[in-house]
Amino acid sequence: MSALRRTALVATLALTLVGCVARENPSSPPPGDDFVTSEEETVASSEEPPAEADPSTTAGDCKFAADGSGEPKVGLPPDDGSVTAATMSLTTSAGPITIQFDAQRAPCTVQSMAFLASKGFFDNTVCHRLTASEGLKVLQCGDPEGTGSGGPGYTIPDELPTDLAPGPAGGDGSQPVTYPRGIVAMANAGPNSGGSQFFLVYGDSTLPPDYSVFGTMDEAGLATVDGIAAAGITPGDRGPEDGAPASPVTIQTATAA
C-alpha cells in the first residue's frame, strides 16, 4: 500500500493505484503519492526519479542510493553478502500475513526488505490503500507516513519481472501483464525508485511489467487480505474502488527470518 509517474494501462479502470518507495503509489495521484498505476492512471512524484541504475544488479552489487530527501531513515542496506532471510512475517491488526521471499527473482529487493524489517521500519505503520476495481485488486503498505508519499530515504534498483502472463492489450498498443493473486511487489515512482512501499495482490491485476516482484503470500496471509478487502473501502480522490481500507489496518510488527 504510496509519486509515481507512470502511465497506466488501458484496462477497465479509471483509477490509480499503488506506489511504494520513498514516494510510492496508483490513478492520477496528487504530488507526493507513490504507487502502482492501472488503466488511465498516472503516478506522480514530488521529485524527479533518480538516475537509472544498472538493471543487472544482484545481491552484493545492489547500488542502494539515498533518494535526495535527506539522510536514509535507518541507513543503507549492505551491498555485500548473500540474502539469508526466507520470509517476512507481518503481524497486523487484521491477522497474520507471511511473505515467502523470492531472492532468485529479486535479490536486491529482498535484501532491502529484510534489512528494513530488521530495523523495525515497518512496525506500527498502516496499510494506506486498498483497490477493488476489475483490473486492480491490491492492498498497499510500507509507507511510514501512511500517506502514500513516504519511504526509507533510499532507492532500490528495479528487478522487473519477465515471466508474468500477458494481460489484455491496451488500446494504445501497450502490452500489460497479469500480476496474479498472491504476488507481492514493490510500488514505485518511476524507474529505479522503489523504496519501502509494497502491494499485496489479492485478485489478478493488470499492470505494466514495471513493478519488481519479490515474494508471494501464504494461504493465511491471503485470507487476511481477503478479509480486509471484504470489509470495504473508504472512497478517496480516485473513486469508490480506491481509497483507505474501511477497517484500518496496521502492521504491528514485521520480522524477517
Does residue 47 lie in a domain region? no
Angle at 57 between CA 54 and CA 59, to 5 degrees: 150
How far apart (Å, rounded) are the C-alpha atoms in residues 196 and 198?
6
Does residue 169 lie in a domain region? yes
Q: Say yes or no to pLDDT of 75 above 80.
A: yes
Angle at 217 between CA 101 and CA 241, to 5 degrees: 125
pTM given for the model: 0.81
Over residues 223-243, the pLDDT tens digits come to 999 999 999 999 999 999 999
Does residue 69 lie in a domain region? no
Q: Are 25 and 16 in contact (CB under 8 A)?
A: yes
Give the contacts of 48 (CB within 8 A, at least 6 positions apart): none
Tell me how many domains the chain contains: 1
Q: Say yes or no to pLDDT of 58 above 70.
A: no
Does residue 12 lie in a domain region? no
pLDDT of res. 84: 87
DSSP lists the bridge partners of residue 97 as 90
Q: Say yes or no to pLDDT of 80 above 90.
A: no
Q: Say yes or no to pLDDT of 23 above 80.
A: no
Handedness of CA 62, 41, 33, 90 (dihedral sign): negative
Does residue 177 lie in a domain region? yes
Q: What's the CATH number where 102 sits?
A: 2.40.100.10
Does residue 81 lie in a domain region? no
Does residue 21 lie in a domain region? no
Return the closest-CA partner of residue 238 out of 49, 46, 6, 25.
Answer: 25
Over residues 95-122, the pLDDT tens digits come to 999 999 999 999 999 999 999 999 999 9
Q: Say yes or no to pLDDT of 57 above 50.
A: yes
Does residue 58 lie in a domain region? no
Query: Which residue range forms the structural domain that includes residue 237?
Result: 86-256
8-12, 49-53, 146-150, 248-252: least confident range: 8-12
% of the chain at pLDDT higher than 70:
77
Over residues 169-208, the pLDDT tens digits come to 877 778 899 999 999 999 999 999 999 999 999 999 999 9
Q: What is the H or E stretch that residue 191 is in?
A: none
